[in-house]
Structure 1
Amino acid sequence: MTMGRRATGTLRARRLAHLFAATAACAVALALTGCAGSGEGVRVEGPSAIPETHARADAETDAETDAETGAGAGTGGGGGTEAVDVRPSPSPSAAEAFDGARVNIAEGQTVGVGMPISVTFDRPVPEAERADVERRLKVTTDPGTEGSWSWVKDRDLADGQRVDFRPRAYWKPGTKVTVQVGEGLTRHFGVGRSLIATVDVRRHTMTVEKDGSTERVPVTAGAPGMETWNGTMVVSDKQPKVFMDSRTVGYGDSYADWYSYAVHLTASGTYLHENPKANTYAGRRNVTHGCVGLAADGTAKRFYDQVVPGDVVKVTGSAETVAVGNGYGDWNLSWERWKDGSALN
């Protein structure tokens, strides 16, 4: 099934030589801080879990890939049929929006079932141009998948700089996806096995459902006044070590240290990571500054080793729900509200 559209006009593919670095995932983290806050206190050690191919969007290279694979024709998901969209070329202003456009998923990457496709732009797209821009976005899946684009106010970007695609329900494991952005930028990726972790902050437990099996893990979450965000979050990346500094979020000298096996959940700095305090309090009491802590007895490493970007972490029993644009909070909207965010709805 094919969702979204892409023009077949004669507009030249422009070269998109903007870096969205291998260090981009690290650069994202550099703008973040430790537990549920924002600032400049996070440093990372070791390579990001986001592949290096995330770094570049090169229209000429992608155009060549389209020519070799036939992706530009718009292959329908599942049936192998071709659906060619014949439309006028986009207006000059809408076409310019794709100069410097970036996609959050690397070429050939395997992601978890919750990963949205997120396209960001160098400049805000005015409301009057959004429908035209959306028509130049195309998602093809095998098997067919119901989904929709929706404009998201990103925590760190201006309104109109981000549009996301998500299915009605989580991706089906094994789904193959092609996304085309404007005239030249294409990404092919796959959906891996399903992993959904549910953190119950009142019971101090995390239930991990993976490939039909269930495991319960003791955790410690945000202490009163520093509660972990409620709602559904999606893993954006993970790092073997992250340095967190409490001074950047107004928590004084509470912590300034490296934390291991850090699974990144929100743009405001929420992680699920190894925390020595969890050795004592996991399963018993919430004592963190907003992150979810796992014990250093191998529990944190075991969870870290099986997680991939796009896996789902749901938090229940807490207070405020994470914003849609704070990382990938897309799943916190109902399907109807999500579709309402499309300029074509």
Structure 2
Amino acid sequence: MTTGGRNGLVRRAWAVWASGALCVLASAGCSQPGTGADAGGDNAPGGAVTSPAAAPGTGKPGTGKPSGAAAGTEDGAGAADHPALATARINVADGQTIGVGMPVSITFARPVPAAQRADVERALAVTTSPRTTGGWSWIKDRNLHDGQRIDYRPPAFWKPATKISVRAGGHLNRQVTVGRSLVATVDVRTHTMTVAEDGRERRVPITAGAPGMDTWNGTMVVSDKQRRVWMDSRTVDYGDAYRGYYNYAVHLTASGTYLHENPKAGANAGRRNITHGCIGLAADGTARRFFDSVIPGDVIRVVGSKETVDAGNGYGDWNLGWDQWTAGSALA
């Protein structure tokens, strides 16, 4: 189902995050861009990263030091803690392995005023091994106010095996490792997904958003995944069209885009686009195999569609060029 918030309600319940949007499966596929659904089923295994848009306080490349914390240094060291840092949350779990597209995302319980954002940035530090240039940028999250989210990323995807340490003030620290590289490119015109994993490629037939319900274009990042998700058409103004659990759901945007098993994909994947915006995979084991292969931070790039997903709709950070990204720093 697709995604991004052009109409409908966004209602979800998460144990870790306060709110977010799920994709909704209609008889032919997924919800229209901009819709959401109630969530159910099993949580993503291993403390998977969830959407930054769902983080109240909780999706996804110079100058070298554009945002006060250059990789390989601790430019925030010694800065006095800003009060906002007392409510800060980081989107990655300590010790987690992440995909090459995962930004470091920090959210705050209340908006940080524009005049105070530079002080907050000075209290943030990212160090990497090997040394990697990167920078902070304030992102307008789809489900938060301006000033409640700041992300850190390099100019291009992280290199596999990079070790990343994050510090927000004196009390909040995380250490994560970048795993193998997985970048999946979905071409909605040819109804195929090319999965590049550590130098090997495989092609998978898919079905994407039908005309008028187009899948988001651009680069998205896996925020989390669930073995099954409860989807209810009433949350997206589709009446009683469908209610039930749907399998192997890989979460891509806060507005509701998923890459998931679609019962109608067997007859349509590789041939035509029939969903309401999500990316559908067949129930012959194709969806399960892809689900098993991905981790939070893996990259899903959609080409041949129309509207590009916003930076704050999940982890849409990579849809900003590097100059745009560094301009979002309060220290630029």
Q: Same fold (TM over 0.5)?
A: yes
Shift in CA distance, 218/75, structure 1 to aligned 2, threshold 3 Å: closer
Whether 2:120 is the aligned partner of 1:150: answer no
Whether 2:311 is the aligned partner of 1:324: answer yes
Residue aligning to 1:185: 172
Tell me which of 187, 205, 211 is aligned to 1:218: 205
Shift in CA distance, 49/311, structure 1 to aligned 2, threshold 3 Å: same
List aligned pairs for 1:196-215, cutoff 5 A: 196-215=183-202
Task: State the 1:87 CA deviation.
Answer: 4.9
Residue aligning to 1:128: 115
Task: State the 1:88 CA deviation.
Answer: 5.7
Task: State the 1:50 CA deviation.
Answer: 5.1
Larger relative contact order (Cα-Cα within 8 Å, sequence gap ≥ 6): 2
List aligned pairs for 1:64-79, cutoff 5 A: 77=72
Q: Is the 8 A contact 2:70 2:134 kept in 1?
A: no
Task: State the 1:100 CA deviation.
Answer: 1.2
- How many residue pairs get aligned? The number is 296
The AA in structure 1 aligned to 2:16 is A
Whether 2:258 is the aligned partner of 1:271: answer yes
Task: State the 1:243 CA deviation.
Answer: 1.3
Q: How much is the aligned-residue C-alpha RMSD, in angstroms?
A: 2.3
Measure, in 2, the Cα distance between the counterparts of 1:170 and 1:214. 18
Measure, in 2, the Cα distance between the counterparts of 1:169 and 1:175. 13
The AA in structure 1 aligned to 2:80 is S
Whether 2:36 is the aligned partner of 1:46: answer no
Partner deviation per Cα, 1:183-202 (whole Å, 9 max, x = no partner):
11000000000000000001
Percent identical residues: 60
Shift in CA distance, 36/113, structure 1 to aligned 2, threshold 3 Å: farther
Residue aligning to 1:252: 239
Residue aligned with 1:134, SS: helix
Q: Is the 8 A contact 2:184 2:299 kept in 1?
A: yes
Task: State the 1:84 CA deviation.
Answer: 8.0
Q: Is the 8 A contact 1:50 1:106 kept in 2?
A: no
Structure holding more helix per residue: 1
Partner deviation per Cα, 1:303-345 (whole Å, 9 max, x = no partner):
0001000000000111101111000000000011000000111
TM value normalised by structure 2: 0.84
Partner deviation per Cα, 1:24-76 (whole Å, 9 max, x = no partner):
26x545x434235556623221132351899xxxxxxxxxxxxxxxxxxx998
Measure, in 2, the Cα distance between the counterparts of 1:143 and 1:264. 29
Residue aligned with 2:289, SS: helix
Task: State the 1:252 CA deviation.
Answer: 3.4
Measure, in 2, the Cα distance between the counterparts of 1:294 and 1:218. 7
Residue aligned with 2:196, SS: strand
Tell me which of 304, 323, 332 is aligned to 1:336: 323
Whether 2:224 is the aligned partner of 1:232: answer no
Q: Is the 8 A contact 1:178 1:186 kept in 2?
A: yes
Q: Is the 8 A contact 1:53 1:106 kept in 2?
A: yes
The AA in structure 2 aligned to 1:24 is V
Larger Rg: 1
Task: State the 1:22 CA deviation.
Answer: 8.0
Shift in CA distance, 50/341, structure 1 to aligned 2, threshold 3 Å: farther
Residue aligning to 1:66: none
Residue aligned with 2:86, SS: coil
Q: Which deviates more from structure 2 when the two are superposed, residues 237-246 or residues 328-337?
A: 237-246
Residue aligned with 2:85, SS: coil
Shift in CA distance, 223/235, structure 1 to aligned 2, threshold 3 Å: same
TM value normalised by structure 1: 0.81
The AA in structure 1 aligned to 2:15 is T
Residue aligning to 1:24: 16
Measure, in 2, the Cα distance between the counterparts of 1:214 and 1:41. 33
* Runs of 4 or more consecutive aligned structure 1 residues displaced over 4 Å after TM superposition: 36-40, 82-88
Task: State the 1:259 CA deviation.
Answer: 1.0
Q: Is the 8 A contact 1:32 1:38 kept in 2?
A: no
Measure, in 2, the Cα distance between the counterparts of 1:314 and 1:228. 11
